[in-house]
Each structure stands twice: as C-alpha cells, then as structure tokens.
Amino acid sequence: MTRGSRQYWPHRRAARLLPRVRSLQTGKGEPRLGGMVAYKAGMSTALMVDDSESPSKQQEVSRACTVLDVPTTEFYGIRFYKNGSITGYRSSAAEVCHKATAQKLKISPVACEDKLGSLMGRLGEYTDISALLVAHPKSAGAEQNKFERFEVQIIGKTLDEKFSFASQNLGKEVRPEMVFKQGEYIDVSSITKGKGWQGIIKRYGAARLSHKATQKIRHIGTHGDFGGAKVMYTVPQPGQMGFNYRTERNKRILRIGGRDAAGSINKPSGFKNYGNVKGNYVIVEGSIPGPARRLVRIRLNSSRLNAKGIKQPKVLGIG
C-alpha cells in the first residue's frame, strides 16, 4: 500500500505564497469580516479541560496547538461586485480606497473614501461587497518587507449592512478579536513544506523492486497495460513533492491574545526558526500545513459547527 495521496492531481507547485480561497461563507448575526492572514510561529502544548464527550471529559488534558502571529492589518479598501448579464458570474465593478493608506502602499486608487456617498445611492446595481486588507509583515517575526495585500469577504444579511460595516471600518486597524471568537471553528489554508523533485519511493511510498529487477530498483514495476494510449495518473511517478495548496477544516480557536499578553506564550528560547511573537496572536488546536514563517489564511468555518453553539475552551496554560 502506498503512502502518497492521489486526491489532488496534478501535484504541482503553488503559484504564490498567499493561499487561495475558492468558496464563500454565509453567516448570520452582526456583519463582520470573513477572515485574516497570519504567520505560523510554531507549535506548543495547551493544558486545558476537556469539554468533549470523550472518556477524558472534564479532565485536564494536554493538547498540541499551533501559535499564529497576526501582523498589523489595515482595512484599506472596499470592492463592489455585480453579476454579468451574459455569463452570470460576478465581476468587479467599482473600488474605493482609503487615501492615506493607498499613498503609503504606493497604489493609485480609482476612487477615494469621499466617493462613498455617491456609491451608497447606487447599491441596487451591485450584488456583493468585499473588503481589501493589507498586512504589515514587519510587525510580526516574518522577516518580510513587502506588504501583503489580500481580499476578504464581508459576512452579513443584507448589502446595506455590509456597506455600513465597511464604511465605518475603512482606514482602521483590524484585530483578530474583531473577526473571530474563542472557541469558534475555523478553516486554515496554507502551503505545505516543499521537498522539491522526489522519486516514487519517497513521494508515494512505493515498494522497491527485487534485486534481480532489470536496471532499476527504486522504480515502478509497470506503467499500465501495453495497449494503453497514456499513463494513468494513478500510476506513481516522480515529480514535485510538497509546496501545494492545502486547506484543513474544523480547527478550533483556543485563545486570542493581544500584544500585551504575547510574552505569556513565548518559549524561553523562542519558537524554532521564528523567534518570539510580538503582536496579536491566535492559538489553534492541532497542527496546520507549512513550516515556520509560512503565510497562513484563517477564515470562518464553512460547515455548520459554529451554528451549534460556541463553547469557551478552558485553557489552563500554554507552553
């Protein structure tokens, strides 16, 4: 039995370090942003009270957790969408940016915040609104100079609520406690560790051939039937291993903290290959893809786990 996954095909390198998002969430309640970005600092241990229905219920247990360093993030723009008359797919129709932040980012905005009044009277022409955010990596331990610009969905009941929320927060800093709550389940998108070009033994865990095999040992026995027109993707072949887009769902938030509490989660020697967390942070139960300093996209859970109610985790200590 081989070890590699054939769920994703082809196994190719990710096009960019910012993980992609291909689905939109729907939510109820007050309007809010659908996600943020963070940098993976490393893993730690959380001592907590088990609130599940497992045999260790209401007992103190030790769980592996991942610490995410959230850089300073600004709400710098609003993007308006409308559906195409022929294709039906939504396309960008208008964009408004905060003037001061746009100058700092050295981008030329199509329209500034003073145009919001005119767009408010034309909301009937649009179908959706999203937020444009920018992360400042220098505020985290990522050792990256370039600003990280990305787009995030605004979750709300009506377009008027989304527009009101966006106009009130335009140009302001976005903190993780404004987007997520402790105990919520989130989806984490990242890029796995890259291992370069590998053969079938390491890439798929295929068995070595007999020492009497012709020419090669670390090789596949057959590429398929003799009369086949092509080699099927199910046949293990050498190629790129790792550095792929991956999304892990249903990750629980154990703790959300600010800059003043960052010292309580840092290790004496710092996180390996990262250092100390200096700013806002989010602690997620379990592991997430990618090495330290890898850009991670965290967003609200796409399943119905949060609709069942949010349990506040009883975390006794981290480290």
* Backbone φ and ψ of 99, nearest 5°: -60, -45
Residues 12-29 have a mean pLDDT of: 83
pLDDT at position 23? 79
Closest of 118, 149, 124, 155 to residue 136, by C-alpha: 149
For 125-161, write each residue's pLDDT tens digit: 888 899 999 999 988 888 888 899 999 999 988 899 9
CA dihedral 227, 233, 235, 241 (to 10 degrees): 150
User: For residue 124, is it within any domain?
Assistant: yes
CA 113 vs. chain centroid, Å, equals: 29
Number of domains in the chain: 1
Q: Answer left, alpha or beta for residue 219, where phi above 0 means left and psi between -120 and 50 means alpha.
A: beta
For 71-111, write each residue's pLDDT tens digit: 999 999 999 988 865 555 777 778 888 888 888 888 887 77
User: For residue 21, is it within any domain?
Assistant: no
For 218-244, write each residue's pLDDT tens digit: 998 889 888 889 998 888 899 999 999
User: For residue 312, is it within any domain?
Assistant: yes
Mean of pLDDT over the chain: 88
pLDDT at position 2? 58
User: For residue 13, is it within any domain?
Assistant: no
Residues 254-272 have a mean pLDDT of: 90
pLDDT exceeds 70 at position 30: yes
pLDDT at position 180? 93
46-74 burial code (b ≥16 CB/10 A, e <16)? bebebeeeeeeeeeeeebebbbbbbbbbb
Distance CA 297, CA 191 (A): 10
Band of residue 185 on the pLDDT scale cut at 50, 70, 90: very high
Q: Please, what's the largest Cα pairwise distance for the chain?
A: 79
Closest of 94, 59, 65 to residue 271, by C-alpha: 65
Whose tokens are 């396309």? That residue is: 91
User: For residue 141, is it within any domain?
Assistant: yes
For the domain that residue 278 is a member of, what is the CATH number? Answer: 2.40.30.10
pLDDT exceeds 80 at position 3: no
Band of residue 209 on the pLDDT scale cut at 50, 70, 90: very high
Distance CA 142, CA 295 (A): 9
User: For residue 215, is it within any domain?
Assistant: no
Mention every residue, 6+ apart, whose C-beta is less than 8 A from residue 48: 60, 61, 63, 254, 313, 314, 315, 316
Q: Give the residue with greater pLDDT, 1 vs 195.
A: 195
8 A C-beta contact, residue 185 and residue 305: yes
For 40-71, write each residue's pLDDT tens digit: 999 999 999 998 888 989 899 999 999 999 99
* Backbone φ and ψ of 115, nearest 5°: -90, 0
Q: Hey, which residues does 155 pair with through a beta bridge?
A: 32
Range of the structural domain that residue 54 is part of: 32-193+242-318
pLDDT at position 96? 87
Q: Hey, which residues does 242 pair with through a beta bridge?
A: 194
8 A C-beta contact, residue 33 and residue 265: no
Band of residue 4 on the pLDDT scale cut at 50, 70, 90: low
8 A C-beta contact, residue 41 and residue 141: yes
User: For residue 291, is it within any domain?
Assistant: yes
pLDDT at position 86? 56
User: For residue 147, is it within any domain?
Assistant: yes
8 A C-beta contact, residue 71 and residue 172: no
Q: Model's pTM, two decimal places?
A: 0.90
